[in-house]
Amino acid sequence: MGFWRRLSDVIRWYPKDMSHEERVLVHKIDLLVLVFACLTYFTKFLDVSALTNAYVSGMKEDLNIYGNRLNYINAVYEVGYCIFQIPSNILITRIPAQYYLPTAEVVWGMFTLGTAFVKNYQQLMAMRFMVGLGATACYVGCTHIVNSWYRRSEIGRRNAIFYSAGPIGTMFSGYIQAAAYTNLNGHGGLEGWRWLFIICTVITVPIALIGYVVFPDVPERTKSRFLTERERELCQSRLLLDGFKPSTGINRTLFKRVLINWRFHVFVSLLVFNSLTAYARSTPFTLWLKAMPERYDTADVDNLGTITSAVLVASALVTCYYSDLTQQRFPVLFVAGVLSLLGNLLLLIWDVSLGGKFFAFIILGVSHGTAPVLISWTAEQFAGDLEARAIVIASYNVVGEMCGLVVPLVVWQVVDSPKFRAGYIFATVMSVFWLFLLFVPYVLNKRYPLLPDSEEAEVSRVNSEDYEKGLPEAGKADSLKDTAAVEEKSIE
């Protein structure tokens, strides 16, 4: 613990002057909640991105996946992934997440294994649909859980770590495929790309089993054997101090209070546009590399294809740390929008050097790395309504995935690779829209700040007093400063 304490002070992992008791608690939350959420999200991306890596490593030829068939396979996955997301995230506010999320992981893991043994294009379509259906709960469920445990001064960094697990999974899929293609191709009568899906399953299912033991659900329901009674109480009271309220239940007013809230429409749109502007960093980047066989062989494509994921991780960590320490989300997101516009414009022009194209793809990865900053901002905007927050997270992911289903079929058709002119026109326009839309919450939050009404303020005051009675003096002063900061203005 001594080494971790010194390291955490250096990297500012905990807010300055946090009490020892609260540090110990947050450290436990990181181990129980954040680590499992990251591992789950890692395996989801590992299993999902395996398809693209398998496609460029022999699956295309073995299963006759020519023309736009890759688009159709991705589309059927998106259908399975989307159809249950909003109900799933409403459901997770009512049932124990420590059973629900690991079970979903086992399901998609087993269908990932089935993908290793498909014999034709039709069987592959069926397997990908079931992988998508099983993975429905992963991202939206884990995002909701992670954002239910942390205070405003902690949430951005944790979202960055969680979000980074996805691209790290994509990177490892590329590395595993390169190794499988080189060392396992033909072993046991199986092609290298089939071994990739087997290896992914061997990683996925044990992680799910760990979740049944360690994952602690949400603060108000947790019965974790790893938290004391005092710690379980502190989990709830410290969130109340920061304006994050527990569940109020599901009733007829839920959808009304979501749909009439301008923040719902604006933040869902921002989150969706954020993914559309950076689409080129994934499949188009890989297909561009594959289009140069004289320069890059199959293993090179698998390895180089991870570059944009690597810079995304670095961007997420740096930008979320900055936005947590400054408690400002807008400046980081504005810079991301500018980078997105620049990257897509360079690729639209296309007639630039090899280094220029690499630069464009890389800054799109940097831009998309700010997504957890936007997610943290969204969670803060819905701090007072847990169910609404769950719906917002699921809604943006459903709309984003639906766009991910339709948009590639229209403007990112594989037959247009590697130039994708229609795709880069679309992404450039989306970048402009995203920059303009970003100013809406920035302006409206100044005009209509998130200040509690008199009744809510009184509840918050009482809860704060109860919470502070249990804090050591060092932590109490910091808590009072945090409360004052929250009351002065909403986070920009």
DSSP per position, 450-461: ----HHHHHHHH
Q: Do 331 and 353 lie in a common domain?
A: yes
Confidence (pLDDT) at 79: 87
Residue 306 · residue 176 · CB < 8 Å: no
**Could you tell me if residue 252 is inside a domain?**
yes
Among residues 30, 277, 329, the alpha carbon closest in space to that of 162 is found at 30
- Residue 144 has which token pair? 């909701």
**Could you tell me if residue 378 is inside a domain?**
yes
In this predicted structure, the answer to whether residue 466 has a pLDDT above a threshold of 70 is no
Q: Do 469 and 391 lie in a common domain?
A: no
- Cβ-in-10-Å burial (0-12, 13-18, 19+) of 157 comes to buried
At 486, the pLDDT band (50, 70, 90 cuts) reads: very low
Characterise 250 by phi-psi region: left (phi > 0), alpha (psi -120 to 50), beta (else).
beta
pLDDT digits (tens, 9 = 90+) for 180-190: 777 887 888 88
Q: Do 473 and 414 lie in a common domain?
A: no
Report the C-alpha dihedral over residues 270, 276, 280, 286, rounded to 10 degrees: 110
In this predicted structure, the answer to whether residue 464 has a pLDDT above a threshold of 50 is no
At 173, the pLDDT band (50, 70, 90 cuts) reads: confident
**Could you tell me if residue 27 is inside a domain?**
yes
| Distance (Å, whole) CA 160 – CA 146 | 11
In this predicted structure, the answer to whether residue 197 has a pLDDT above a threshold of 70 is yes
Confidence (pLDDT) at 2: 66
Half-sphere exposure of residue 253: CA atoms within 13 angstroms, side-chain side: 4
- DSSP code at position 280: G
Please tell me which residue, 481 or 337, carries the higher pLDDT value.
Answer: 337
**Could you tell me if residue 484 is inside a domain?**
no
Task: Kindly state the percentage of the chain with pLDDT values over 70.
Answer: 90
Confidence (pLDDT) at 478: 46
Q: Do 475 and 329 lie in a common domain?
A: no
Residue 168 CB neighbour total at 10 angstroms: 20
Alpha carbon 39 to its chain's center:
12
Alpha carbon 31 to its chain's center:
18
At 450, the pLDDT band (50, 70, 90 cuts) reads: low
Q: Do 203 and 251 lie in a common domain?
A: yes
pLDDT digits (tens, 9 = 90+) for 270-322: 989 988 999 999 889 988 998 898 888 877 887 888 888 889 989 999 999 89
Please tell me which residue, 161 or 7, carries the higher pLDDT value.
Answer: 161
Residues 402-414 have a mean pLDDT of 84
In this predicted structure, the answer to whether residue 454 has a pLDDT above a threshold of 60 is no
Residue 459 · residue 319 · CB < 8 Å: no
Residue 209 · residue 86 · CB < 8 Å: no
Residue 246 · residue 460 · CB < 8 Å: no
| Distance (Å, whole) CA 70 – CA 377 | 35
Residues 7-33 have a mean pLDDT of 85
**Could you tell me if residue 491 is inside a domain?**
no
Residue carrying the six token digits 């995203």: 434
Q: Do 412 and 470 lie in a common domain?
A: no
Spatial CB neighbours of 295, under 8 Å, sequence gap ≥ 6: none
Confidence (pLDDT) at 457: 37
**Could you tell me if residue 229 is inside a domain?**
no
Over its C-alpha atoms, the chain yields an Rg (Å, rounded) of: 23
| Distance (Å, whole) CA 284 – CA 279 | 8
Q: Please tell me the least confidently modeled range out of 57-66, 242-251, 443-452.
A: 443-452
- Residue 365 has which token pair? 């990865």
Please give the residue range of the domain that contains residue 463. 452-479
| Distance (Å, whole) CA 178 – CA 302 | 6
Q: Do 112 and 193 lie in a common domain?
A: yes
Number of domains making up the chain: 2
**Could you tell me if residue 236 is inside a domain?**
no
Among residues 338, 408, 345, the alpha carbon closest in space to that of 366 is found at 338
Per-position DSSP letters for 340-354, written without gaps between them: HHHHHHHHHH--S-H
Q: Do 62 and 162 lie in a common domain?
A: yes
Per-position DSSP letters for 189-231, written without gaps between them: G--HHHHHHHHHHHHHHHHHHHHHHH----TTT---TTS-HHH
At 109, the pLDDT band (50, 70, 90 cuts) reads: very high
Q: Do 421 and 474 lie in a common domain?
A: no
Q: Please tell me the least confidently modeled range out of 96-105, 403-412, 444-453.
A: 444-453
Confidence (pLDDT) at 471: 45
Residue 297 CB neighbour total at 10 angstroms: 10
Confidence (pLDDT) at 1: 55
Confidence (pLDDT) at 6: 75
Q: Please tell me the least confidently modeled range out of 46-60, 132-146, 256-270, 465-479.
A: 465-479
Residues 133-149 have a mean pLDDT of 90
Please tell me which residue, 446 or 87, carries the higher pLDDT value.
Answer: 87
Residue carrying the six token digits 């410290």: 238
Strands (E), 77-197: none
Residue carrying the six token digits 């954020």: 274
Mean pLDDT over the full length of the chain: 84
Per the omega criterion (within 30 degrees of 0), is the bond before 452 cis? no
Q: Do 365 and 457 lie in a common domain?
A: no
| Distance (Å, whole) CA 331 – CA 137 | 31
Q: Do 417 and 466 lie in a common domain?
A: no
Q: Please tell me the least confidently modeled range out of 123-127, 385-389, 477-481.
A: 477-481
Q: Please tell me the least confidently modeled range out of 60-64, 250-254, 368-372.
A: 250-254
196: domain CATH number is 1.20.1250.20
**How far, in Å, are 391, 403, 460 from residue 446 at the CA level?**
25, 31, 22
Confidence (pLDDT) at 259: 85
**Could you tell me if residue 366 is inside a domain?**
yes
In this predicted structure, the answer to whether residue 490 has a pLDDT above a threshold of 70 is no
In this predicted structure, the answer to whether residue 459 has a pLDDT above a threshold of 70 is no
Please tell me which residue, 414 or 349, carries the higher pLDDT value.
Answer: 349
Residues 349-367 have a mean pLDDT of 94
Q: Do 321 and 468 lie in a common domain?
A: no
Residues 30-35 have a mean pLDDT of 94
